[in-house]
Structure 1
Amino acid sequence: MLKIALGQMDVIPGRPDLNTKKMLDMIHQARTQQADIIVFPEMAIPGYLIGDMWEQQSFIRDCEAFGQDIIAAAAGICVIFGNVAVDWEKRGDDGRPRKYNACFVAQNGKLVPDHRFPYPFRIKTLHPNYREFDDTRHFYSLRKLALDLKQDTESLLLPVTIKVSGKEYHLGCIICEDGWNDDYTVDPIAALAANGPVDLYINISSSPFTLGKNNKRNRVFSSQARDTATPLIYVNTVGGQNNGKTVYTFDGFSTVYNCAGEIITYCPPFREKLEYIELDPENGGLNHIPVAAADDNNISSMYQAISYGINKFLSTINMKKVVIGASGGIDSAVSAALYAKILGPENVLLVNMPSKYNSQTTKDLAAQLAANLRCLYTVIPIQEAVDLTISQISQTAVVCPANKKTHHLNITPFITENIQARDRSSRLLAGIAATFGGGFTCNANKSELTVGYSTLYGDQAGFLATLADLWKHQVYQLAGYLNSCIYEEEVIPQATIDIVPSAELSPDQAVDEGKGDPIIYPYHDYLFRSFIEYWHKATPEDILTWYQEGSLEEKLGCEAGIVSRLFPSPKEFITDLERWWNLYAGMGLAKRIQSPPVLAVSRRAYGFDHREAQNGSYYTRAYNNLKAKILSTC
């Protein structure tokens, strides 16, 4: 019987000193509880998403030294942990000393030896190069090492043998992506089984949260345990890490599967926890009663991830106060409810900044929101400043040096809209936030970010785009959840939920007349989602093909019948499609590149998760041919 401690820890990226201290504390606790083994996550010492800090040799040496501290602490207990490993005598593909993403197994104050393997640690085999991952930029994989050694990769996937109370146990140690091997030519689990015996698989991970990901993880890892008839332990980190443009939460959800693939225990998500389980590898953990896994594909998980992510990011940048532009609309209301719950209402200042286009309805709703949340509140009208800006620009002569001719700039209604948005953010919110001793938020949602329906240096500014990975319908879902489950009262006024979404920047957006945004969210949310979140990203060719086939609504997942209601003819449908595609690949992209960091919750978030080049919109030959064919029959 093995008593195993799962060290689900909050790994602080770039702080090996703090992480090591935490690990030493957990080792001490586990030893006190007479645990035989303690398992920590992947890259538990340095953190995982630390950018090009991996190019700092002094930092790498520090991580190695802290790793030695953990090895020395492995007395009376076996410690399994992730850290960077360096072969200073060899070079990686970048010409720097060769680094490995490694799993260390320490016992009796030293690493467990294995003469069959070239290093006293195990190396990550599969390096993900999709979404936010960029492992091959810095690390040498086991597959590359196998090529150097002129061996098959599978031959290097060897179990680690430890002794506990005089008995040998064979551990199949893998690192994160090694367990997600369906699309790779190497299957580390199968190779370890072939080179076995294996008594227990251990997957140390640093796996960011994605809505519904743990459900899939349970299916994948359960299958691996069941297919090999071997228990599997998965240990993941919690906390927040980022790659500059995208902020990620790590949910933990460390889990133990018995040899039948059943879950027998797991750590709660988004919480640091030292969990213990007594496991007998000989019976595969079948003596434990299986437990039901928590569903992470619901609004509760979304709220938990967003709330946790905000909290972690605020702590990282040491921000304790926040200013929010409260328009009376749904996005700013949801932001206010989130930040008030995290920081306390006394540290959240809501600012309503009406122009002549803002209705009394939304002004009253902004005030009601502040009263419900008990946040600080102020009203600062912007019309005088907007008029001054328009006057300064339109009345100032522009001179041509060559012929001394002068002309005046013409301010269009569209430019007037942008002037209002920038006055609110670049002038007022920025100045108020500095005075208040905090930062101001970006309230843009994913639908707006997709097509640039926000103003650069205006409402697309701020220190964090909290809602920018939520489609508009998800923002509404979150509003309902905040009222019913978090506050258990109507803090976000129902009228804010019911009112037509509108920027209120012109007479064409008068909410009291039912006029609002040009985005028809029940359809465009799903259209835009296909552009970015589908694994095989949809293009106008795909959309038009599905439209012609009559399968578009099924493919997008939107309401049945909505397309024909919105677009009576193919011409109108194509005009709408091309309008938004051009914005998505054009001005929307130009704005996204300069947007604040996005808090990720979906399968593909903007920022470094979804990498974009400013190449303009493109229509394939097949699209143009299909378009011509459809329009010719109208």
Structure 2
Amino acid sequence: MKIAIAQLNPTIGDLAGNARQILDAAQQAIAQDAALLLTTELSLCGYPPRDLLMQPSFLEAMAGTLEQLARDLPLQLAVLVGTVVPNENAAIAGGKPLFNSTALLQHGQIQQYFHKRLLPTYDVFDEDRYFEPGTETNWFYLGDRTTGLKVGVTICEDLWNDEAFWGKRTYPTNPLIDLAAQGVDVIVNLSASPYSVGKQAVREAMLRHSAANCQVPILYANQVGGNDDLLFDGSSFGLNRQGNVVFRAREFESDLTVVEFDKELGDVKPGAIAPAITQDDEEIWCALVMGVRDYVRKCGFSTVVLGLSGGIDSTLVAAIAAAAIGAENVLGVLMPSPYSSDHSITDALDLAKNLGIRTHTVPIQPMMEGFDQGLAPIFAGTEFGIAEENLQSRIRGTLLMAISNKFGHLLITTGNKSEMAVGYCTLYGDMNGGLGAIADVPKTRVYSLCRWLNEAMQFPNFALPDAFCLRAVATPVIPPHVISKPPSAELKPGQVDQDSLPAYEILDDILERFVERHESLADIIAAGHDAATVEKVVRLVTRAEFKRKQAPPGLKITDRAFGTGWRVPIASRWLPTVRV
């Protein structure tokens, strides 16, 4: 008996469009003689729908779309669709008004609902805000009871409570153990598991352990694509009873895979295994390109604009944008000031030529002089400082927003995670824009990505999908001087970033330990960092919270990003110190 796994890229709220994706996948499944089609978590509405779930009209439209989908699907094919179901007992017994559910569609009707049992409330997840946890062990017969399959149904987090693997139990129940006790032939999982660097290895290790422990094959279908700040890598896969991977879908692309369950063997037979990306830089590149592409497309844009300074950050963002939506759809704006070096202009133009993107140059000295004249009376008797430096950034931000408004381009910001962490960025200046493409990428990783890209583009059989390859290739695509020169905002003569910040290798290690690993200051110092430097960095992180709250959404690639899952107060007196 064949089972098809559809790795879908839904757009949140596009009920009709998402239903068409499921219908298309169903036709492909039928063509390959599949009996069951597995889709992803909340595949009908897209994940995460967030407060759309509080709109009655949205819920009514979803229910109607699900019923129509059941009628439109091939009659003989059983299809598992992620959807939302009202909790009819909420008004009487209390609880949340909805369930995060899977609907079994077959023979033109909704045959059965299965409710998600484990609801995550950490990091970017807030499912307890909307959903009531299911209490029943979910399974159904595919075919008749004698010759068919007993299929166990789980939804995303239901897989993530293996006490033996994690060394702890987060929830009181383990749906996998419950299903194994029911004697199911196979466990399927509809998932929307957000991407972070290296996460697929964790997923596969966890489910290898679970499949072998329960002696039940597991088929895992994960959402793909970008939805706001969250990225989903797909990477759907399946394991046999021994915990061996028997299929793997492509990463960062929609895909459909068919596997066969051998009833006599009581196991899933080996199928197609897509090669896994093995380098972190390549994986991050694919994630960011996909994220920019989907954010542009799903928000209704077709072109982007960014400030092109000749620095490493804007260079990487321009390359990502060109790969995501085509070089012909990217405009780089050079805005030199009297403090801009000649190499900044030539580096930016060399990059634009390599990528094939359009450029426009707007010198900002006349505007700077206008501001200086206007502010001269109130600034009289003061020295040149941060206020004047930031004016340059705000002039540039205003120009970019004007171009964005005039021509309908999406403005992409170019700030990295290191800058966002310590506030080395200007509100209403370089922070202007609709998307932070590398806002979760530390500065040291920016350099690493640029070096990797230059190396990767030298190979004619570059292993990335066509959609993620640059339209025009030069070797090296990133001008070498961009990588080798000291980073600088160029807001005053001879300025370099290290005038204000520790070396980025030191800064990024401190930030990773403090922001992502939640290490104490004492532990960070014990790891070899200077105490004064650590306290300075932590003080900068704490005081920059007001800036981060006003930043555009940034694509999440780490386990701890300054986005949906970052919930730190602005008006706070708490400042971590070594002496507590």
User: If the length of structure 2 is used for normalisation, what is the TM-score?
Assistant: 0.90
Asked if 1:600 corresponds to 2:556, the answer is yes
1:357, distance to aligned residue in structure 2 (A): 1.5
2:78 corresponds in structure 1 to 78
Q: Which of residues 523, 526, 530 in structure 2 aligns to 1:542?
A: 523
1:417 corresponds in structure 2 to 389
2:251 corresponds in structure 1 to 269
Mapped to 1, the partners of 2:84 and 2:8 lie a distance apart of 17
1:498 corresponds in structure 2 to 484
2:428 corresponds in structure 1 to 457
Contact 1:215/1:297 (<8 A) preserved = no
Question: What do the CA deviations read for 1:131-173 (whole angstroms, capped 9, x no partner)?
Answer: 111101111112xxx5xxxxxxxxx324323325962321111
Contact 1:265/1:290 (<8 A) preserved = yes
Give secondary structure in 2 for the equivalent of 1:598. Answer: coil
What is the root-mean-square deviation in Å for CA atoms of aligned residues?
A: 2.4
Give secondary structure in 1 for the equivalent of 2:87. Answer: strand
1:88, distance to aligned residue in structure 2 (A): 4.1
1:387, distance to aligned residue in structure 2 (A): 2.3
1:280, distance to aligned residue in structure 2 (A): 1.2
Cα 1:171–1:273 shift into 2, 3 Å: same
Question: What do the CA deviations read for 1:98-133 (whole angstroms, capped 9, x no partner)?
Answer: 210012223333444xxxxxxx42111110011111
2:56 corresponds in structure 1 to 57
Mapped to 2, the partners of 1:267 and 1:92 lie a distance apart of 44
Asked if 1:326 corresponds to 2:282, the answer is no
1:36, distance to aligned residue in structure 2 (A): 1.0
1:620, distance to aligned residue in structure 2 (A): 5.7
Question: What do the CA deviations read for 1:512-568 (whole angstroms, capped 9, x no partner)?
Answer: xxx76624101111101122212xx12324324x2xxxxx05xxxxxxxxx4xxxxx
Amino acid at match of 1:87: N
Mapped to 1, the partners of 2:203 and 2:395 lie a distance apart of 46
Mapped to 2, the partners of 1:26 and 1:576 lie a distance apart of 55
1:93, distance to aligned residue in structure 2 (A): 9.8
Contact 1:482/1:488 (<8 A) preserved = no
Amino acid at match of 2:420: L
Amino acid at match of 1:61: E
Cα 1:326–1:294 shift into 2, 3 Å: same
Q: How does 1:124-523 map to 2 (within 5 A)?
A: 124-142=116-134, 146=135, 156-164=136-144, 167-182=147-162, 183-194=170-181, 196-242=182-228, 247-285=229-267, 287-288=269-270, 294-295=276-277, 298-396=280-378, 410=382, 412-426=384-398, 428-486=399-457, 487=473, 489-509=475-495, 518-523=501-506
1:347, distance to aligned residue in structure 2 (A): 2.5
Cα 1:33–1:583 shift into 2, 3 Å: same
Q: Structure 1: which 4+ aligned runs deviate by more than 6 Å?
A: 92-96
The count of aligned residue pairs is 557
1:296, distance to aligned residue in structure 2 (A): 5.5
Contact 1:160/1:171 (<8 A) preserved = yes
**Structure with max Cα Rg:** 1
Amino acid at match of 1:175: I
Give secondary structure in 2 for the equivalent of 1:133. Answer: coil
Contact 2:67/2:110 (<8 A) preserved = no
Mapped to 2, the partners of 1:92 and 1:393 lie a distance apart of 65
Deviates more, 1:197-206 or 1:278-287: 278-287
1:68, distance to aligned residue in structure 2 (A): 1.8
Contact 2:239/2:247 (<8 A) preserved = yes
Contact 1:212/1:296 (<8 A) preserved = no
Contact 1:394/1:409 (<8 A) preserved = no
1:49, distance to aligned residue in structure 2 (A): 1.4
Mapped to 1, the partners of 2:303 and 2:49 lie a distance apart of 26
Mapped to 1, the partners of 2:270 and 2:347 lie a distance apart of 54
Amino acid at match of 2:506: Y
Mapped to 1, the partners of 2:93 and 2:501 lie a distance apart of 49
Contact 2:152/2:187 (<8 A) preserved = yes
Amino acid at match of 1:509: Q
Contact 1:234/1:255 (<8 A) preserved = yes
Cα 1:277–1:421 shift into 2, 3 Å: same
Mapped to 1, the partners of 2:130 and 2:143 lie a distance apart of 34
Cα 1:74–1:189 shift into 2, 3 Å: farther
Give secondary structure in 2 for the equivalent of 1:509. Answer: coil
Give secondary structure in 2 for the equivalent of 1:19. Answer: helix
1:577, distance to aligned residue in structure 2 (A): 1.9
Cα 1:31–1:164 shift into 2, 3 Å: farther
Cα 1:496–1:351 shift into 2, 3 Å: same
Cα 1:482–1:516 shift into 2, 3 Å: farther
Question: What do the CA deviations read for 1:14-57 (whole angstroms, capped 9, x no partner)?
Answer: 11111112212322332233211111111111112122110111
1:220, distance to aligned residue in structure 2 (A): 0.7
1:609 corresponds in structure 2 to 565
Give secondary structure in 1 for the equivalent of 2:202. Answer: helix
Mapped to 2, the partners of 1:478 and 1:436 lie a distance apart of 30
Percent pairwise identity = 31
Mapped to 2, the partners of 1:452 and 1:281 lie a distance apart of 59
Contact 2:11/2:298 (<8 A) preserved = no
1:311, distance to aligned residue in structure 2 (A): 0.4
Question: What do the CA deviations read for 1:261-303 (whole angstroms, capped 9, x no partner)?
Answer: 1111111112222211112144243653795861466111111
Mapped to 2, the partners of 1:24 and 1:290 lie a distance apart of 23
Amino acid at match of 1:601: I
Contact 2:217/2:239 (<8 A) preserved = yes
2:37 corresponds in structure 1 to 38
Mapped to 1, the partners of 2:93 and 2:401 lie a distance apart of 44
Question: What do the CA deviations read for 1:233-280 (whole angstroms, capped 9, x no partner)?
Answer: 1111112213xxxx1221111111111111111111122222111121
Contact 1:173/1:202 (<8 A) preserved = yes
Give secondary structure in 1 for the equivalent of 2:413. Answer: coil
1:306, distance to aligned residue in structure 2 (A): 0.4
Mapped to 2, the partners of 1:86 and 1:315 lie a distance apart of 31
Deviates more, 1:433-442 or 1:448-457: 433-442
5+ residue gaps in structure 1?
A: 113-119, 147-155, 397-406, 547-551, 554-562, 564-572, 626-634
Amino acid at match of 1:312: D
5+ residue gaps in structure 2?
A: 163-169, 458-472
Deviates more, 1:278-287 or 1:14-23: 278-287
Mapped to 1, the partners of 2:268 and 2:305 lie a distance apart of 53
1:412, distance to aligned residue in structure 2 (A): 3.6
2:20 corresponds in structure 1 to 21
Deviates more, 1:63-72 or 1:231-240: 63-72
